[in-house]
Chain A
């Protein structure tokens, strides 16, 4: 049974609108359905192409004991992780609780907050401003995060045989007092023979710079290495996989 109370804005196909002008709107079937089919095929083709070209390097299997791994979230969550970086200590609650609560409350209630009938952009400066600000914030934070990640990676010169040899010398001079390597060296600090399998090079750099990121009470001191020397050591250790 067909309800006879169809809303007024949905005149049946072909009916002459009350104004007396002929209806120029395209019917859904078959015209629009065809357009939708074409768009669907295009989107599908695009996705397959993307899937062929945008690959990610394989990762190692999860190792719950390796808390040194520095994870990155999926790219569309990057803006949020970047945002959290600006809130430290107890302020983290602003990032993890207050802001999300406010933003989602505002989103849910938006139609009831912004009740005017006005839809022209020039007549709704607040809504336009807030919308653009939000959009720019998300886009900006994502870009900053991607750039910072890339910088972390770019700082490091490529690993060559020379660097590896230099790194090995430096390790023997500064590190084996405490750390052991392939059965030789000190026992005051963890064995690093397989460190490269557990953590990435950026993390090794950061530990040499600030040993406290491993633990607040570490006995490891700041090692007097130049930037280049540090890169050599991190190259050497990053290759220590098994």
Chain B
């Protein structure tokens, strides 16, 4: 193990990078072993963990899921009834979505009530609000994918709500739907947004978010 590591490190000089990442100390007010109230400072990390799990379960669901009105419903029931661990994976993905929303919301409350958004962390707060929107976007687009009654009609209502927005609303609604009604195009669009656009955006924002956290350190206690 150490020989392989040395081989790589001699060539790529990774250890300074690693040290840069791992060499920092955890202030007591954010360390749950030292102070019980520090559990609040875990919410961001737990959100991240859940999002990783969503990524993983999502990838496995994608092995079988077919984003077309004719096959989506059947492919989801196939996952739930036939595929090994399919029901668990599918349910984990559904439950994980709720958990992610809850944890991100709690994380935001922690940042808000400790006023960690103040100078110099303004930019990271803004990255955070964008992250919140992305997470909600995942929830909205993912809800359509099973193509059951609830999915179809909730999405219809959701897009109709967007449509009422002056100026841009009609345009955005048309772009999302790809027509006058929720249909085949809507499903492929929501699918691609859910599995490509939003994950790409999420990863970029998370990189920025974590870079700023490490650069600035955790905010000081009240």
Contact = CB atoms under 8 A, between A and B. Distances in A.
A binds B: yes
Contact of B115 (A24, A28, A119): A119
Interface stretch (B58-66, B150-158, B204-212): B150-158
B222 interface: yes
A43 B49 contact: yes
Given A39-B46, A119-B114, A131-B113, A13 B129 contact: no
A77 interface: yes
Contact of B117 (A31, A59, A110): A110
B95 A111 contact: no
Interface residues of A, number: 74
Interface in A18-69: 23-29, 31-33, 35-36, 39-40, 43-44, 47-48, 50-52, 54-56, 58-64, 66-67, 69
B78 interface: no
Nearest to B52: A40
Interface string A91-112: 0110011000000100110111
B147 A29 contact: no
B161 interface: yes
Interface string A58-84: 111111101101111111110000001
B165 interface: yes
Contacts of B83: none
Given A1-B16, A55-B91, A61-B148, A111 B139 contact: no
A116 to B, nearest CB: 8
Contact of A62 (B94, B98, B148): B148
A121 interface: yes
Interface stretch (A3-11, A149-157, A163-171, A180-188): A3-11
Interface in B95-122: 95-99, 101-102, 109, 112-115, 117-119, 121-122
B50 A127 contact: no
B157 A111 contact: no
A1 B73 CA distance: 54
Nearest to B108: A107
Contact of B153 (A2, A7, A69, A121): A69
A97 B25 contact: no
Contact of A12 (B23, B164, B216): B23
Contacts of A11: 25
Nearest to A9: B217
Given A35-B32, A96-B164, A111-B119, A51 B22 contact: no
Interface in B127-181: 129, 133, 139-140, 143, 146-154, 156-158, 161-162, 164-166, 169, 181
Contacts of B140: 77
Contacts of A44: 49, 53
A124 interface: yes
A162 interface: no
Given A69-B149, A119-B118, A127-B115, A64 B181 contact: yes
Interface string B27-54: 1100111100000001001100110010
Contacts of A1: 16
Interface of B: 16, 19-20, 22-28, 31-34, 42, 45-46, 49-50, 53, 69, 73, 77, 88, 91-92, 94-99, 101-102, 109, 112-115, 117-119, 121-122, 125-126, 129, 133, 139-140, 143, 146-154, 156-158, 161-162, 164-166, 169, 181-183, 215-217, 222
28 contacts: A7-B217, A9-B217, A13-B23, A13-B24, A31-B26, A35-B31, A35-B32, A47-B95, A50-B95, A51-B91, A51-B95, A52-B88, A54-B91, A59-B146, A61-B73, A61-B149, A62-B73, A64-B183, A70-B153, A74-B154, A84-B161, A93-B166, A108-B126, A108-B129, A117-B118, A119-B115, A131-B113, A135-B109
Interface of A: 1-2, 7, 9-13, 23-29, 31-33, 35-36, 39-40, 43-44, 47-48, 50-52, 54-56, 58-64, 66-67, 69-77, 84, 92-93, 96-97, 104, 107-108, 110-112, 114-121, 124, 127-128, 131, 135
The 7 A-B pairs of least Cβ separation, nearest first, read: A71-B153, A62-B152, A59-B148, A111-B122, A25-B25, A29-B22, A71-B154
Given A63-B149, A64-B183, 18 more contacts: A11-B25, A23-B25, A26-B34, A29-B23, A39-B45, A40-B49, A44-B49, A47-B50, A47-B53, A51-B91, A69-B149, A71-B154, A73-B154, A73-B157, A76-B98, A76-B101, A97-B165, A131-B112
